[in-house]
Amino acid sequence: MTLYLDSSVLLRVVLRQPDALAEWSSVPQGVASALVQVECLRTLDRLRVRATLSDLDQAVRREGVFRLLDAIELIEPTPIVLARAAQPMPTELGTLDAIHLATALLWQEGANTELVMATHDAALGTAARAFGLRVVGV
């Protein structure tokens, strides 16, 4: 089993927030869109600007993001992924979530193995379920 990890999962771990993914400690293999790096680092920067994170906290959290990203397979948002994300979806879904879902679906098709969507985002979880993926985190 492989977990597709969206930024909400990674950020809860890095920020040590409550209700982090229960399955986190047993993630055998993780995969994510390369977008998670941008999403996570932009979130940390917003928190720093709002004075929620000190410079030291910012540095520690950024290091945590990079360590997590080093441990998972990152998939670039290729033209094929973007074309799939642009197609109609069975549920309402924003642009970045559509790219995450398209990435997950294409990865699963190519890997021919069970992929579980790990997210704390209700809309992404609902859309993933509509495509038949098992979802954890919501």
13-29 pLDDT per residue, tens? 999 898 888 777 777 78
CATH of the domain at 117: 3.40.50.1010
pLDDT of res. 52? 81
Structural domain range at position 115? 2-136
pTM: 0.92
Number of structural domains in the chain: 1
27-61 pLDDT per residue, tens? 778 999 999 999 999 999 998 888 788 889 999 99
Q: Please state whether 123 falls in left (phi above 0), alpha (psi between -120 and 50) or beta.
A: alpha
pLDDT of res. 114? 87
Query: Which of 41, 34, 46, 48 has its CA nearest to residue 96?
Result: 34
